[in-house]
Amino acid sequence: MSAPHASAAASVVLGFDFGVRRIGVALGNTLTGAARALQTIDTGSDAVRFERIAGLIREWRPDRLVVGRPLGEDGAPTETTRRAERFANRLRGRFGLPVDSVDERFSSREARAIIESTGGRRDDEDAVAAAVILGQWLDAYRPPPDARPPR
């Protein structure tokens, strides 16, 4: 996992839980350190998926993107890992934004537990998983000492 150093201003970040059939999307910022589920993109073609993502980027104007990197339970890359990495590279190439990856093992389980405990809808699972992934990235985010307010 990689995280940038903070600037004095908050950065808006979009997080993605990549899936072959659906892509969960979450929104967060570095000032509050909070992430929230935004939506699930479940349309079929890549062209439509990337047009929906382009719309979100126009709307929210993120400074950075975060993509979950699915690994096997043993930490080994899988075919889905390669697909998610390709998705992250395509985001970087199309939108010219920095893209970080986060180990997303068990994010879907955590998303299901959140949905069950809050009485949420099961069809929001991918967006909630994206919020879990983005939350992990935000938790690791630390500003450099010179960005902190003086005492």
Q: What is the pLDDT of residues 61-93, one digit of tens each?
A: 999 999 999 888 888 998 989 999 999 999 999
- Domains along the sequence of the chain with CATH: 22-144 (3.30.420.140)
- Find the mean pLDDT for residues 113-117: 66
Mean pLDDT of the chain, nearest integer: 84
**39 in Cβ contact with 55 (< 8 Å):** no
Q: Which of 23-27, 44-48, 56-60, 138-142 has the lowest mean pLDDT?
A: 138-142
pLDDT tens by residue, 39-60: 999 877 889 999 999 999 999 9
Confidence at 3, pLDDT banded by 50, 70, 90: very low
pLDDT for res 39: 95
Exposed e or buried b for every residue in 55-84, given b needs 16+ CB within 10 A? ebbeeeebbbbbbbbbbeeeeeeeebbeeb
* Residue 114, pLDDT above cutoff 50: yes
- Cα–Cα distances (Å) from 150 to 8, 30, 92, 146, in that order, read 12, 19, 35, 9
Q: How many angstroms separate the CA atoms of 24 and 11, rounded?
A: 20
| Token pair listed for 66 | 């975060």
pLDDT for res 131: 94
pLDDT for res 147: 52
pTM of the model: 0.81
Beta strands 23-29 and 35-41, pairing class: antiparallel
* Residue 112, pLDDT above cutoff 80: no
- Find the mean pLDDT for residues 81-106: 93
pLDDT for res 93: 97
